[in-house]
A and B are shown apart, each in its own frame.
Chain A
Amino acid sequence: MQLEVYGDTLCALVSATALASAGNQVFLHLPEGNVAQQLAQGDCPFREPGLADLMAEQSQAGRLVLSSLESPPHQQSTVVWLALSPDALELAVQIVAMLPTHRAERWLVVNQSTFPVGTSESLQRALVENTTESETGSAVVSLPDLIIEGNALQSFMRADSWLLGAEQVWAQKQVAELLRPFNRRRDAIMLMGSREAEFTKLAITGMLATRLSYMNDMANLADHLGVDIERIRQGMGADKRIGEAYLYPGCGFGGLSFSRDVMSLASTLQGSGMQAQLLDEVLRINERQKEVLFRKLWRHYGTELRGRRVAIWGVSFKPESSRIDNSPALKLIEALWAQGVEVHVHDPRALQVLGEWAGERDDLVLHDDPYAAAEGADALMLVTEWKAYWSPDLLRLKMSMAHPLLLDGRNVWDPDFIKQSGFTYFGIGRS
């Protein structure tokens, strides 16, 4: 089949590559930006096992063709695959509303993006308004992104489950046909309404967020009880009913998928006044958790922070990303600024967007070298756990910092080792 995939998310790249590898002809429409640039240079912007190789292979074979947002779908294409970022709802509507009309065949739009519940229905309406009589029956289906980061390609090609929200039988069949190569061991497609599929995705995200906020709550208690949360985490994870995933305490989570806009059901339940109570609290706890390193610093220096200098390692909302949406670092930096602290930042990829976010100001200095950021600092805060930060040159840090104080927002360092090296150490739920 011939498909038009839209988006520059990990999900877009994985879906496009996997579908091409099964013999489909795939045109990948990329919004302008870093991802498009890197792909144009032949680089793969995501470090996922097997992804770069398979992409290169499919490109070479001519089955995966990079394209722009503006270029129209090809004549033979009947499938539009949306894997856009959660803030690109308007773009999704535009794409659907601009689809060429007066064609012999109807459209199948597969929406894999994480948008508020009910979006597939509104896309369906946009599609119907756009299309003419002959195309009546065009359908939008929801196929939520369940890709697991770190194992993205495999989690698509050998998926444990697919949530397919589709009302029309022909659309269900066509999606099943598209997924056939990835659905062999057993039929893993779970059929449901598009609203139900979208809601399931949000419920999953909400559950993961709840686990994280719960662990952060436990970590804050651990701080007061003088126990090490890492041992607690391992003990909990060993219980099969709980499992190990999403139990890592930290200085808060970010990213667009976890944003209030997406998680909020208000946009779909408008008028009913309903709110998800637990989810609200989970997000509230998370916002508070983003300032946990600030609070530790505040107390350590006896509430006197004016004129101090603090280094931050990692500002992207997660490693390997250049995005800072809802990143804990932003809240932390604002808190530090408000107390008259000069902030020095290193991040492998997100410095440029951070600079754009902050604008020109004297109390923010961006560094290409992590050690230069830490020079003369009264504290170093690790906020995003890029791999390059896991085993720093402690001697060098100790020599260059004004005060040897490390605040580990991701519990990646070993407290004993750090302390033996002459630092004061604060982690999340451990010290």
Chain B
Amino acid sequence: MSDSRRNSQAWQALLAHGEEMRGKHLSDLFAGDGQRFEDLHRQTGAILFDFSKQRIEIETLDRLLDLARERGLAERINALFAGEAVNSSENRAAMHWALRLPVDNACVVQGEDVALLVHAQLQRMEEIVQQVRAGQWRGATGEVITDVVNIGVGGSDLGPLMVSEALTDWCLPGQSPLSVHFASTMDGSQLSQLLGDLSAHSTLFIISSKSFSTIDTLSNAATARRWLEREVGDCEGLLGCHFLGVSAAADKMTEWGIAPGNQMRLWDWVGGRYSLWSAIGLPVALAIGMPAFRDLLAGAHSMDEHFQQVPFADNLPVLLGMIGIWNTNVLGINAHAILPYDGRLKELPNYFEQLEMESNGKSVSLGGETVDYATCPIVWGNVGPNAQHAFYQLLHQGTEVVTCDFIVPARRYLEPQHNEAAVELVAQHELALANCLAQSRLLALGDAAVEGAEALPLHQRYRGNQPSSTLLLDELTPYSLGALIALYEHKVFVQSVIWDINPFDQWGVEMGKRIAMDTLAYIRGDSDELNNADSSTAGLLARILG
């Protein structure tokens, strides 16, 4: 079956077009076409998507969209938004989009109004957020909660952490000072640091786990609980005052000791890496307040509508996804860098790593066969200006071809709290903008961007022709960030359709956990033997156990 996929008419036409494009340098493409930017950028709402620095021509778009149509992308988008079981290996829908439906937008899936469920949870969340931000959520001894620690990992950590960092300018003080912290690693690294600094009497924990069985999270939660019991003492209402739970498994939350009133629900039909829009986003809402959190949802919803309604040729997620297909499957590029030119987005590359690689890092088709083409490239990144001092050397002069997404807001430091230092800070933002544009230009054009380059020795020359896209936001706001994240979610879906894989499961992360349990039993002396241990593992264990 996968054989026939690349033999299809649209694939073949695309590959043939790829042959024509081979050898064309971006500097020539720009030199030969003054209209290039006009033709190869699109805009929706607060996001401008410039893909004129990709190694494509207008015809390329036609070929790519033909492929999308041949693969039935429109029908698959409809299936996604109809709540069909697009997550076939687990027989579930993937309705993260429903988490950002407006309140008056009824959405009945299999006889149940999903919007109603979602908004009931948002309402519960809002009550908690208001109580905490008003300085009226109390610890067991009646102290005001001043610190919130989110205990979660993967989707229950990366999303809330990334958005909290990105929207720091919206963390306007509530009536009471409040700091939000994150603890994720199973070795307790962050938690041990936090417990040293915080007062147990005024600390609230959010235990965030879709399954409520993630060992990383539960081990951190247990440590937090013991710490509270030690610091505050045996006190009535300790769990009720200091622990909130967010999970799809209500019974497990109850079993752990989360008070029913402190439980927030999510559902099987939300994947962990798509869940920051739900109560998993509680740390975000605590930091920025509920109105700003609702703006985030509204921004994402605007992208949901765009994705469903706008023709492919102007559809940002479709174009972003299909250009990725071009780079991966036609140009054979296997590395993709995420480069935000805004320090607030420093967690965004981590977040996109999970979103793209856990979703599309697959090699078995929906039909159960091994695919014979490349799927998700290696995705990594860092804040652009810092990465310039780290891995840009490889981008400019290494032997690997890498595609890049530059992400940058046009305007910054307009918020009232920046009043005093605004002039200096705006100047710093201008510096970042200039670097962003200079780097993408040099990567694309190479020596053509440098006057008199021909005279320089080889080691000072730039090959260029590294393709990149630029996503220019008007400003980084809750609304524009929501739209940006949803853009990438849908991009990932578009690519999964072309690659014929399921982006909503993650079987590849399961087995390691199981083997770790056997290994743990051996380390702790609960079992005498580790089955089938290879000599490397056996050797390391021998050293560890002395």
Residues on A facing B (Cβ under 8 Å)? 291, 294-299, 302-304, 334-335, 338-339
Are B143 and A304 in contact (CB-based, < 8 A)? no
Are B134 and A338 in contact (CB-based, < 8 A)? yes
Are A303 and B136 in contact (CB-based, < 8 A)? no
By beta carbon, the residue of chain B nearest A335 is B136
Binary contact readout B52-89 vs A (1 if CB under 8 angstroms, 0 otherwise): 00000000000000000000000000000000000000
By beta carbon, the residue of chain A nearest B237 is A303
By beta carbon, the residue of chain A nearest B201 is A295
Are A334 and B136 in contact (CB-based, < 8 A)? yes
Closest 10 pairs between A and B when the two form their complex, measured CB to CB? A295-B142, A303-B237, A338-B136, A302-B236, A298-B142, A302-B237, A303-B241, A303-B236, A294-B142, A299-B142
Residues of B within 8 A of A338 (CB): 131, 134, 136
Measured between alpha carbons, how far is A335 from B235 in the docked complex, in Å?
Answer: 20
Measured between alpha carbons, how far is A335 from B137 in the docked complex, in Å?
Answer: 9
* CB pairs A–B below 8 angstroms (7 shown): A295-B142, A295-B143, A299-B142, A302-B237, A303-B140, A304-B237, A338-B136
Q: Known: A338-B131, A339-B136. Is A303-B143 also a contact (CB below 8 A)?
A: no
Binary contact readout B130-141 vs A (1 if CB under 8 angstroms, 0 otherwise): 010010101011
Residues of B within 8 A of A297 (CB): 142
Measured between alpha carbons, how far is A53 from B237 in the docked complex, in Å?
Answer: 57
For residue B240, CB closer than 8 A to chain A, the reply is yes
Q: Known: A303-B240, A303-B241. Is A295-B141 also a contact (CB below 8 A)?
A: yes
Measured between alpha carbons, how far is A334 from B143 in the docked complex, in Å?
Answer: 14
- State how many angstroms separate the Cβ of A371 from the closest Cβ of chain B: 28
* Chain B interfacial residues counted at CB < 8 A: 14
By beta carbon, the residue of chain B nearest A291 is B142
Could you say which of A294, A295, A304, A334 has the most chain B C-beta atoms within 10 Å of its C-beta?
A295
Residues of B within 8 A of A339 (CB): 136, 138
- State how many angstroms separate the Cβ of B28 from the closest Cβ of chain A: 57
Residues of A within 8 A of B142 (CB): 291, 294-299, 303
Measured between alpha carbons, how far is A298 from B236 in the docked complex, in Å?
Answer: 10
By beta carbon, the residue of chain B nearest A296 is B142
Chain B residues 142 to 170 lying within 8 A of chain A, measured CB to CB, are 142-144
Measured between alpha carbons, how far is A296 from B142 in the docked complex, in Å?
Answer: 8
Residues of B within 8 A of A302 (CB): 236-237
Residues of B within 8 A of A291 (CB): 142, 144
Total of A-B residue pairs, C-beta within 8 Å = 33
- State how many angstroms separate the Cβ of A426 from the closest Cβ of chain B: 12
Given contacts A294-B142, A302-B237, A338-B134, 6 further A-B contacts (CB under 8 A): A291-B142, A291-B144, A296-B142, A299-B141, A299-B236, A338-B136
- State how many angstroms separate the Cβ of B72 from the closest Cβ of chain A: 54
Measured between alpha carbons, how far is A178 from B499 in the docked complex, in Å?
Answer: 95
Residues of B within 8 A of A298 (CB): 138, 141-142
- State how many angstroms separate the Cβ of B511 from the closest Cβ of chain A: 44
By beta carbon, the residue of chain A nearest B131 is A338
Chain B residues 104 to 146 lying within 8 A of chain A, measured CB to CB, are 131, 134, 136, 138, 140-144
By beta carbon, the residue of chain A nearest B142 is A295
Measured between alpha carbons, how far is A338 from B175 in the docked complex, in Å?
Answer: 13
- State how many angstroms separate the Cβ of B145 from the closest Cβ of chain A: 12
- State how many angstroms separate the Cβ of B136 from the closest Cβ of chain A: 3
By beta carbon, the residue of chain A nearest B241 is A303
Residues of A within 8 A of B240 (CB): 303
Measured between alpha carbons, how far is A297 from B237 in the docked complex, in Å?
Answer: 13
By beta carbon, the residue of chain A nearest B140 is A303
- State how many angstroms separate the Cβ of A303 from the closest Cβ of chain B: 3
- State how many angstroms separate the Cβ of B254 from the closest Cβ of chain A: 18
By beta carbon, the residue of chain A nearest B138 is A298
Measured between alpha carbons, how far is A335 from B138 in the docked complex, in Å?
Answer: 9
Measured between alpha carbons, how far is A40 from B16 in the docked complex, in Å?
Answer: 100
- State how many angstroms separate the Cβ of A398 from the closest Cβ of chain B: 26
Measured between alpha carbons, how far is A304 from B261 in the docked complex, in Å?
Answer: 13
Could you say which of B138, B140, B235, B240 has the most chain A C-beta atoms within 10 Å of its C-beta?
B138
Measured between alpha carbons, how far is A303 from B237 in the docked complex, in Å?
Answer: 6
Residues of B within 8 A of A303 (CB): 138, 140, 142, 236-237, 240-241
- State how many angstroms separate the Cβ of A342 from the closest Cβ of chain B: 16
Chain B residues 25 to 56 lying within 8 A of chain A, measured CB to CB, are none
Measured between alpha carbons, how far is A278 from B170 in the docked complex, in Å?
Answer: 30
Could you say which of B235, B237, B240, B241 has the most chain A C-beta atoms within 10 Å of its C-beta?
B237
Residues of A within 8 A of B143 (CB): 295
Measured between alpha carbons, how far is A303 from B139 in the docked complex, in Å?
Answer: 9
Measured between alpha carbons, how far is A339 from B237 in the docked complex, in Å?
Answer: 14
Measured between alpha carbons, how far is A302 from B235 in the docked complex, in Å?
Answer: 8
Residues of A within 8 A of B144 (CB): 291
- State how many angstroms separate the Cβ of A270 from the closest Cβ of chain B: 12
Measured between alpha carbons, how far is A8 from B124 in the docked complex, in Å?
Answer: 49
- State how many angstroms separate the Cβ of B134 from the closest Cβ of chain A: 7
Measured between alpha carbons, how far is A195 from B241 in the docked complex, in Å?
Answer: 49
By beta carbon, the residue of chain A nearest B235 is A299
Measured between alpha carbons, how far is A334 from B240 in the docked complex, in Å?
Answer: 21
Residues of A within 8 A of B141 (CB): 295, 298-299
Measured between alpha carbons, how far is A296 from B141 in the docked complex, in Å?
Answer: 8
- State how many angstroms separate the Cβ of A176 from the closest Cβ of chain B: 45
- State how many angstroms separate the Cβ of A28 from the closest Cβ of chain B: 40
Measured between alpha carbons, how far is A145 from B140 in the docked complex, in Å?
Answer: 44
Could you say which of A298, A304, A339 has the most chain B C-beta atoms within 10 Å of its C-beta?
A298
Measured between alpha carbons, how far is A339 from B241 in the docked complex, in Å?
Answer: 12
Residues of A within 8 A of B236 (CB): 299, 302-303
By beta carbon, the residue of chain B nearest A294 is B142
Measured between alpha carbons, how far is A298 from B138 in the docked complex, in Å?
Answer: 9
- State how many angstroms separate the Cβ of B126 from the closest Cβ of chain A: 15
Binary contact readout B174-185 vs A (1 if CB under 8 angstroms, 0 otherwise): 000000000000
Measured between alpha carbons, how far is A303 from B141 in the docked complex, in Å?
Answer: 8
By beta carbon, the residue of chain A nearest B130 is A338
Measured between alpha carbons, how far is A294 from B136 in the docked complex, in Å?
Answer: 11
Residues of A within 8 A of B241 (CB): 303
By beta carbon, the residue of chain B nearest A331 is B135
Measured between alpha carbons, how far is A339 from B138 in the docked complex, in Å?
Answer: 9
Residues of B within 8 A of A295 (CB): 141-143
By beta carbon, the residue of chain A nearest B144 is A291
Residues of B within 8 A of A335 (CB): 136
Residues of A within 8 A of B140 (CB): 299, 303
- State how many angstroms separate the Cβ of B266 from the closest Cβ of chain A: 26
Binary contact readout B224-237 vs A (1 if CB under 8 angstroms, 0 otherwise): 00000000000111
Could you say which of A297, A303, A338 has the most chain B C-beta atoms within 10 Å of its C-beta?
A303
- State how many angstroms separate the Cβ of B144 from the closest Cβ of chain A: 8
- State how many angstroms separate the Cβ of A301 from the closest Cβ of chain B: 9
Measured between alpha carbons, how far is A404 from B240 in the docked complex, in Å?
Answer: 27
By beta carbon, the residue of chain A nearest B175 is A334
Measured between alpha carbons, how far is A294 from B139 in the docked complex, in Å?
Answer: 12
Measured between alpha carbons, how far is A335 from B175 in the docked complex, in Å?
Answer: 13
Chain B residues 204 to 246 lying within 8 A of chain A, measured CB to CB, are 235-237, 240-241
Measured between alpha carbons, how far is A295 from B134 in the docked complex, in Å?
Answer: 17
